[in-house]
Amino acid sequence: MKTKILRPSKRNLIKAANALIAGEIIGIPTETVYGLGANAFDTLAIEKIFVCKNRPQDNPLIVHLHKKYPLLDLVENVSDRAKMLLENFTPGPLTLVFKSRGKVSPLVSRGLDTLAIRYPSSKIAQRLLEMCNIPIAAPSANISSRLSTTAARDVKAELEGKIPLIIDGGKCTVGIESTVVDVSGDVPVILRPGIITREMIEKVVGPIEEKVTVGEGRVVSPGVKYNHYLPSVRVFVCGYGDFERAKTVYRILAEKGKNPVIVCMHGETHNFLSLHVKDFGKNPKEVASNLYGVLRSLEKKFGSIVICGLDPTDPEAKSVMNRISKMHRDID
Ligand code: TXA
Ligand code: MG
């Protein structure tokens, strides 16, 4: 099969909607990262996603909905706090986990009694969801454990020959995956941080909890226990402002013939004159939107990547660092 990149014309969106209805899996743009979409009612299509991505069998999928799709068709109960989060942050880069009504394929939630729901704000995603009028299960469009994709050509490079088409929505504006919040219990719990930060959520619903790692022997969000977001070359992450450490790691890697590059914020590049250095962006939001694209281009040209950590006190930087810290390997 040849993988085609299609521009988001009406004709091509109709083609994509028909492919989804027919049980195909396709690349779809969202504001966070590209998704690998499939009809959430179609068990065979959901199975295809797991095979295509080589995704661990116990990692559930997020279901994407058109903004007018009746949520209560799919989930049991929408608490007042969940309603407030929906009103304030959706459509947008937020995923909410509810008690499921069990209406979509049981393979979507992998045996959990909950269902993760997201209303993407991307206009193209919304048009496509409206045209096909079904819930679309979509993980990030990358091979499991690899970097997510934020441009159609990156999806093609990653999944060439495995899917028939990708709708080209340009570069994703947010650049990191949605914030995942479990609203199935009394107190909302952040399971995966994102650009909608804990601070923003607490302003709307008051104090919440955060369980972004494995807790009390039970995996809260199955995805968190796997290796994630890995470039094909090794990554070393240095502490915020620790430019001396970054230079030392760079030197060691260069001596070992690992052809390193340093990646840092725009205002930090002057610390690394005469070394290979790449600018990640001017602020944490820009870094988020450039993160996966920059790393995908660097992994093609360099043998190792040294990343300068972002300010850990900045809420948006914290979400970006959640992804970056999962890429780190100790220097040996
Ligand atoms: O921004 C995003 O969320 C992107 C775009 C395509 O929408 N999607 C995405 O999907 O990042 P994925 O499959 O790469 O990550 C989904 C995360 C995983 O960590 C998974 O374990 C968690 O959501 N998840 C899904 N359903 C869940 C559930 N019922 N309970 C707890 N966690 C769930
Ligand atoms: Mg993913």
Closest ligand 1 atom to Cα of 32: 1
**pLDDT under 70: residue ranges of the chain:** 213-226, 331-332
According to the model, what pLDDT value does residue 222 have?
62
pLDDT of residue 45: 98
Ligand 1, atom 15, lies closest to the CA of 139
Q: Report pLDDT for 216.
A: 37
Check residue 227 and give its pLDDT. 73
Q: In what order do the strands lie in the sheet with 189-192?
A: 4-6, 165-167, 26-28, 35-39, 136-137, 62-64, 114-118, 94-99, 179-182, 189-192, 209-210
Q: Give me the pLDDT at residue 223, please.
A: 63
pLDDT score at 182: 98
Query: What are phi and psi for residue 177, nearest 5 degrees?
Result: -65, 155
Whole-number pLDDT of residue 219: 47
DSSP string, 20-51: HHTT--EEE--SSS-EEEEETT-HHHHHHHHH
For the chain, the distance separating the N- and C-terminal CA atoms, rounded to the nearest angstrom, is 42
Return d(Cα 127, Cα 317) in angstroms, integer: 31
Lining ligand 1 with CB less than 6 A are 30, 32-33, 35, 59-62, 95, 97, 109, 112, 114-116, 118, 138-140, 177-178, 180, 191-192, 221-224
- The predicted structure's pLDDT at residue 290: 98
Say what the pLDDT of residue 331 is.
67
The preferred substitution site among 221, 227, 320 for testing ligand 1, maximizing ligand atoms within 8 Å of CB, is 221
Residue 218's pLDDT is what?
43
| pLDDT tens-digit series, residues 117-166 | 999 999 999 999 999 999 999 999 999 999 999 999 999 999 999 999 99
